[in-house]
Amino acid sequence: MINDVSCCIHYTGESCAEVMTEADSSHHAEHPCDDRSTPYLCVVCGKQFTKKQPFMEHSRLHVGENWYLCTQCDKRFPYKSALCKHMNIHAGKYKCAECGKCYGSSYCLAVHRRSHSGEKPFECQDCGRCYGNSHDLTRHRQCHSGEKPFECTVCQKRFAMAFNLRRHNRIHSGEKPYKCYLCDKAFRLSDHLHCHMRVHTKEKPYRCQMCDMAFSQSGNLTTHIRIHMDDKPYVCHACGKMFKLGNHLKQHMIVHMEEKPYSCHVCKRDLSCSRNLITHMRVHTEEKPHQCYVCDKAFRQFATLKDHVQMHLI
């Protein structure tokens, strides 16, 4: 038997009959669902339903009543249909022939395949940008309308979609519903878990077009490309020196503060950042990890190797 919950109402034809518990009456609906073709309205996220059973199952999302347990990984789901789709992943029913990933439905697999083919069939009529699935296009369209009807009750930040508001609310609640089944690490967003899984699978889908390097995250590829382009977007306001990475600028700022917290245990030399200490230690270990791909000469520092390579290009 499904318990009544405080977050949803349904339209009876004449008035709004609230579905509430005695413990909480704070979710009183201020507006009825006037469209009789969708008589069941959730007042938390605004989603509407034509039938009572899907409406009652949906209400579990807001009160955490995830009743359907996967026997293989202990993951829980609010709908039986969601559990069935999840079990398809374990069974390998919908498996990508290119990378071996498994999905819960043929539709999800078809969307995933576009990441290999580069197909983007959903086009924005306003600006012409294309997307691989309709959900990403729907989210993109909000930037043109500027409408943000969903407001966070904690910080008053507004969102274009209820889905984005639900994701945002996890910042305040600390909820991390997406758990890695290999190491038990939990995440607030599903795409964060997706990126994390590459730690275990060693997958590196983001390849540099200028060399053979590959990365597990797109941000790391963007940072790497700066090596080829010599792009240095981070500028020191004190001396004007530029850096490829934000953390390199942070380490550099210690120079201006005259702070040298890192000391060499061999010669007792003090250095301003850990990166400089690592490079300095190569003087004692005689390690030369940066090797020229033309003549095989090796160097302690990447900057020295970079200057050396220019000699071959003259």
154 burial via Cβ count (<10 Å: 0-12, 13-18, 19+): exposed
3-state secondary structure of 265: coil
Q: What is the pLDDT of residues 109-120, one digit of tens each?
A: 988 888 888 888
Residues 122 and 194 in one domain: yes
Residues 40 and 80 in one domain: no
Residues 191 and 87 in one domain: yes
Is the pLDDT assigned to residue 296 strictly greater than 50? yes
**CA gap 192, 180 in Å, rounded:** 10
Which of residues 176 and 16 earns the better pLDDT score? 176
Q: What is the pLDDT of residues 57-88, one digit of tens each?
A: 777 666 555 577 888 887 777 778 888 889 99
Residues 195 and 88 in one domain: yes
pLDDT at 241: 87
Residues 178 and 77 in one domain: yes
Query: What is the span of the domain harbouring residue 50?
Result: 8-63
Residues 251 and 175 in one domain: no
Residue 183 belongs to a domain: yes
Residues 147 and 240 in one domain: no
Residue 12 belongs to a domain: yes
Burial track 112-135 (b if 16+ CB lie within 10 A, e otherwise): bbeeeeeeeebeeeeeeeebbbee
- Using CA atoms, how far residue 265 sits from 51, 268, 274, 286, in Å, is 72, 5, 13, 16
Residue 161 belongs to a domain: yes
Number of separate domains in the chain: 3
CA 217, 208, 120 angle in degrees (round to 5)? 70
Residues 32 and 118 in one domain: no
Residues 27 and 75 in one domain: no
CATH of the domain at 261: 3.30.160.60
Residues 94 and 180 in one domain: yes
Q: What is the pLDDT of residues 99-143, one digit of tens each?
A: 888 999 998 898 888 888 888 888 888 888 888 888 888 778 777
Give pTM, 2 decimals: 0.38
Residue 224 belongs to a domain: no
Which of residues 92 and 80 earns the better pLDDT score? 92
Residues 189 and 269 in one domain: no
CA atoms within 13 A on the CB side of 219: 4
pLDDT at 94: 92
**CA gap 180, 207 in Å, rounded:** 25
Residues 256 and 180 in one domain: no
pLDDT band at 2 (very low <50, low <70, confident <90, very high): very low
Q: Which amino acid is at 266?
A: V
